Each structure stands twice: as C-alpha cells, then as structure tokens.
Homo-oligomer: A and B are copies of this chain.
Amino acid sequence: MKFQDREVIVFAGDSVTDADKYNTGDRIGTGYVKLIRDALTAFEPQNLYKIVNAGISGDNSADLLARWDKDVDAYAPDTVFCMIGINDVWRHFDELDPHKPLISEEDYEKNLREICKRAKKYKRFFLITPYFLERNRQDEMRMLTERYVQRLYRVAEENGVPVLDAQKAFDEYMLSRAGQSISWDRVHPGPVGSMILARLILKG
C-alpha cells in the first residue's frame, strides 16, 4: 500500500486500535497504529503523513458510528481504515452490562452500511474484519464472529469497499500456534498480533 506525501490517514476502531493511546504522549498508542506510523517514517522518510488513532476501547459499531463525524470525519482524511465489531460479538458472551442493548447481526450490518455511506467521500476506505484468536472453527464465539464478518463482507461488496481479512492473517499464524500464545482473551493482539495487523495493512 502506497501513501502520498502529506496524506491524512485515520484508523477507526475499538481497543485493538486504541491500544492504550491515552497513556502515550503522542496519542498513537502501543499497537498496530504505532508500528505503521514508525515503519512509514523509517522507510519512507521522504514523505510526511498525518496519522490519527481514532480507536476507543470498548466501542461497538453503534458507538463508533455515533462519534464518526467528530472523531474521523473532522480530520478530513484521505484514507481511512475501519476495524470494528468484536465488541458487538463479545457482549453476547460476557454480558458486562446486562442493561445496555446488545448489537445484533442486523444492527451491525446497518451500522456498517451507514459508516460506508459516510466514507464515500474519502479517497480510500478499507474495512478490516474483526477476528477471534481461536483456531477451533466450532468455537461458539468464533462462529458468531464469522457471522458478523459475513455481514461485513456483504456490506463491503455492496459499496465496493475493499476488505483486509485480519481473521485470515491470524488463521495462518494459528496453523502453528494457538491463539492463546498471542493473547489470553483471544482479542487484544499484544505485540505479536500488532505485527500481524501492521503487515496486513502495509501490504494492503
């Protein structure tokens, strides 16, 4: 993936993107966004990019949609990467707040569709699939994740949006090691998972 000099690049998402950014002075976090920013600076020093981490921990697709104008659009981005949905899935399993509404598959699809609509004005827009670091395809959270991912693919196709398949990238890794070697909770990617995500995006 090639970027233009002075390009504004926004990464929208949840805690996978956020990566503790409020504890880093430059608000870039410690995850894949940082690796991408550092690699672009190191290997393409002739260009300057403005890179924005627009991830917020805990967000589901409805939360992201609600803050899209303020947190993404306000930067007038050239390129936007959007990875959202694992919290839509996860809350069906851990029920952290039983009185907050769950996001059904239909809600998820609707939210993504609205996001795609707003993203039409950007030069480039990518959806990245949510993923679950479990290689057993019969795992119930993995299966539910995959149903949400199917919705994502459907919306992407309708809107002509390219998809970066994070689940597939991790599946390749999980041919050799269990997802737990990356992360106990099988969602937060840690340094190894961030490497995999950064490469996925940079190879685009």
A residues at B contact (CB < 8 Å): 6, 34, 38-39, 41-43, 45-46, 48-50, 90, 92-95, 98-99, 134-136, 138-141, 173-178, 180-181, 184-185, 191-196, 199
Contact = CB atoms under 8 A, between A and B. Distances in A.
Contact of A38 (B99, B139, B195): B195
Contacts of A94: 178, 180-181, 184
A42 B95 contact: no
A174 B93 CA distance: 10
Contact of A141 (B41, B174, B180): B180
A173 B135 CA distance: 24
A127 to B, nearest CB: 22
Given A43-B199, A184-B94, A141 B38 contact: no
State the copy count for this chain. 8
B136 A42 contact: no
Given A41-B192, A94-B181, A192-B41, A138 B141 contact: no
A180 B42 contact: no
Contacts of A139: 134, 136, 138-139
25 contacts: A38-B191, A38-B195, A39-B195, A42-B173, A42-B199, A43-B195, A43-B196, A43-B199, A48-B95, A49-B98, A50-B98, A92-B178, A94-B180, A95-B177, A95-B181, A134-B139, A135-B140, A136-B139, A138-B138, A140-B178, A141-B178, A141-B180, A184-B184, A184-B185, A185-B185
Contacts of A99: 50
Contacts of A42: 173, 192-193, 195-196, 199
Contacts of A136: 136, 138-140
A38 B30 CA distance: 13
